Amino acid sequence: MTGTIEIVLLGTGSPIPDPRCAGPATLVRAGGTTLLVDCGRGVLMRAAAVGAVAGSLDAVLLTHLHSDHITDLNDVITSRWVTSMAPSPLRLFGPPGTKQVVDAILESLRCDIGYRVGHHEDLTWEPPVEVIELTESPVLELGAVRVVAAPTDHRPVHPTVGYRVECGDRAVALAGDTVPCPGLDELCAGADALVHTVIRDDLIRAIPIQRLQDVCDYHSSVADAARTAAKAGVGTLVLTHYVPTLVPGDEGVWRAQAAEHFAGRVEVGPDLHTVTI
């Protein structure tokens, strides 16, 4: 086996704050490269638990610009800046609109930037962020690691992106919020693992609140994610960003729903759950 890929579920929570779950974020380590997919609340606190810091990130990959997926992007930008002893641009990939978001974050930090530059003689530069907007095509090559992007379907949120990380003979697809679609099928084809955000539509549809039920029409259910994995011949399905939030002890229920449509390995776990491919 060559090209081992480590997947760490930094944050598995829903948009509703929960003391047990950080916001959606996944760390991928492969070939000496560290990638962060999405920046939900508490991302750097969770990353610290597995020895990752903002300065160690080779790239951040955003799937889309919904608030719960970018809540702590400002923390990643600021923490990398103030802990770097020389300018270290953050490479940030995301769908069109990402630069607008980053520019707004930097503007919101304008006072803080001024305070820190004015106080530290050795800090003479502002936070450097290299934004690359995309919807598809090869994204990044770092040594043995190659990242590919393809469009997904989270409409009316548009555009949205999924990613495929390849290292040696291993490949992992990572889907943000999306329903089944050709772009996701392309990313998953023959992959060793699929990391997929999921909802329990059986639970959500039982809640008589239309705003909650609305989430069912633009997210994949557990069954949807399982069917996507089975269609693509994926070896392992990793569930994350559980809506509703995963209750300890209920992992078997989520796993069983997936197993009805997917015969491979199904991983269901809390924040910091780690899967090695």
What pLDDT is recorded for position 1? Answer: 45
Q: What is the pLDDT of residues 97-148, one digit of tens each?
A: 999 999 999 999 999 999 999 999 999 999 999 999 998 877 889 889 999 9
Share of the chain above pLDDT 70, in %: 100
At residue 225, does pLDDT exceed 60? yes
User: 85-121 burial string, b = 16+ CB within 10 Å, else e?
Assistant: eeebebbbbbbeebeebbeebbeebeeebeebeeeee
| Displacement of CA 1 from its chain's centroid (Å) | 26
Q: What is the pLDDT of residues 231-259, one digit of tens each?
A: 999 999 999 999 999 999 999 999 999 99
What pLDDT is recorded for position 216? Answer: 84
| Distance from C-alpha of 105 to C-alpha of 98, rounded to nearest angstrom | 11
User: What is the rounded average pLDDT of the residues 166-175?
Assistant: 97
User: What is the rounded average pLDDT of the residues 167-193?
Assistant: 97
pLDDT-derived band at 174, boundaries 50, 70, 90: very high
| Distance from C-alpha of 48 to C-alpha of 93, rounded to nearest angstrom | 22
User: What is the rounded average pLDDT of the residues 149-164?
Assistant: 95
What pLDDT is recorded for position 136? Answer: 85
Q: What is the pLDDT of residues 55-76, one digit of tens each?
A: 999 999 999 999 999 999 999 9
At residue 276, does pLDDT exceed 80? yes
User: Exactly one of 38, 68, 192, 224 is catalytic; which is it?
Assistant: 68
Q: Is 185 a catalytic residue?
A: no
Burial of 235 (0-12, 13-18, 19+ CB in 10 A): middle
What pLDDT is recorded for position 143? Answer: 85
Determine phi and psi for 154, rounding to 5 degrees: -125, 30
| Domains in the chain: ranges and CATH | 5-276 (3.60.15.10)
What are the Cα distances from residue 194, in Å, to 52, 60, 64, 159? 22, 18, 18, 20
* Assigned token pair, 245: 């939030």
What pLDDT is recorded for position 214? Answer: 85
* Assigned token pair, 69: 């997926």
138: Cβ–Cβ under 8 A, 6 or more apart, which residues? 146, 147, 148, 149
What pLDDT is recorded for position 100? Answer: 98
pTM: 0.96
Mean pLDDT over the full length of the chain: 95
SS (H, E, C) the chain: CCCCEEEEEEECCCCCCECCECCCEEEEEECCEEEEECCCCCHHHHHHCCCCCHHHCCEEECCCCCHHHHCCHHHHHHHHHHHCCCCCCEEEEECCCHHHHHHHHHHHCHHHHHHHHHHCCCCCCCCCEEEEECCCEEEEEECCEEEEEEEEEECCEEEEEEEEEEECCEEEEEECCCECCHHHHHHHCCCCEEEEEEECHHHHCCCCCHHHHHHHHCCCEHHHHHHHHHHHCCCEEEEEEEECCCCCCCHHHHHHHHHCCCCCEEECCCCCEEEEC
